[in-house]
Amino acid sequence: MRLGTTSFIYPGGWLYNVERLAPRFDDIEILFFEAGGFPDAEECRALARCKQQYGLSYSLHTPLEASLGSADAARRQAGVDAVRRAVDAATAFEPEHYVLHVYLGDGERDPQPPLALDAWRERAAISLRQLLAHGVAPRQLCVEALDYDFALIHPVIEALDLSIALDVGHWVRDARDELSELERYLPRARLLQWHGTEPDGRDHRSLRHYPFDRARQLLSALVASRFDGVLTLEVFDPEELASSEQMLARLWRELGLEPRRSATRQAL
């Protein structure tokens, strides 16, 4: 598997972060969270050079505001357009994966599934087909597991032959059995987003907030399955990243395995 983290660890832009992180990681999750908040062409070309120099892969996280299953046709089309613009902006550095959200409604934390599930699935499928028609290969498009039962959207993913980004940290935050979920969805997963949750419910924190025994079981399951995708430490702070690396180094030791890159070696 490839070890990754996000492009917003240090105060600064995408290139500044990638230059600091590239010697330690295999993949950088380039965060285009805001529609239109993208690097300019010069910075994108520099990101491409970094990719070549360090043998990186990039996973592009598309805008959070994109509402691809919305019942509002105008809002749904705006979401598709926002993702298209993100894809176009990233052309120079050729991401290997494109991560996107499909909400139950128009954002996270929707209280319940839509009453007309088939209609919701069809709306999401139409949006996703538009993105495929824009030139994104099906297996590059990774629908992220969010805060609802992923089985609701899984038929669409299967029908379109898409990939999955599994946010394992959210499963633990939401008191779901992440190992059972992993067993079910890992065959289509290209990314696992890993982070801890503090006692007050704040997520995307250090792995030191992730139960150690469960972390060991998770990593062992990935190794046993020969997972060859990206394991992303999805945190947004230097200290949170450093302690996550220390946790990961301890896990490698417990499993008697050698980490792939220097990130975990430096924490030994």
What is residue 267's predicted lDDT score, i.e. its pLDDT?
Answer: 37
Q: What is the pLDDT of residues 16-63, one digit of tens each?
A: 999 999 999 999 999 999 988 999 999 999 999 999 999 999 999 999
Phi, then psi, of 243 in degrees rounded to 5? -70, -30
Over residues 246-255, the mean pLDDT reads 93
Taking all residues of the chain, what is their mean pLDDT, rounded to a whole number?
Answer: 93
What is the C-alpha separation between 264 and 249, in angstroms, rounded? 5
Q: How confident is the model at residue 257 (pLDDT cuts 50, 70, 90)?
A: confident
What is the C-alpha separation between 101 and 142, in angstroms, rounded? 9
Q: What is the pLDDT of residues 185-201, one digit of tens each?
A: 999 999 999 999 999 98
What is the C-alpha separation between 132 and 138, in angstroms, rounded? 6
Q: What is the pLDDT of residues 146-167, one digit of tens each?
A: 989 999 999 999 999 999 999 9
Q: How confident is the model at residue 263 (pLDDT cuts 50, 70, 90)?
A: very low
What is the C-alpha separation between 133 and 150, in angstroms, rounded? 24
- The model's pTM is 0.93
What is the C-alpha separation between 219 and 224, in angstroms, rounded? 9
What is residue 256's predicted lDDT score, i.e. its pLDDT?
Answer: 87
Q: How confident is the model at residue 261 (pLDDT cuts 50, 70, 90)?
A: low
Contacts of 82 (CB under 8 A, 6+ apart): 35, 36, 62, 63, 65, 66
Domains and CATH numbers, the chain: 2-266 (3.20.20.150)
Q: Do residues 54 and 15 touch, judged by C-beta distance below 8 A?
A: no
Q: What is the pLDDT of residues 52-98, one digit of tens each?
A: 999 999 999 999 999 999 999 999 999 999 999 999 999 999 999 99
What is residue 215's predicted lDDT score, i.e. its pLDDT?
Answer: 95
What is residue 155's predicted lDDT score, i.e. its pLDDT?
Answer: 98
Q: How confident is the model at residue 110 (pLDDT cuts 50, 70, 90)?
A: confident
Secondary structure of the chain: what % helix, strand, coil (to 5)? 50, 15, 35
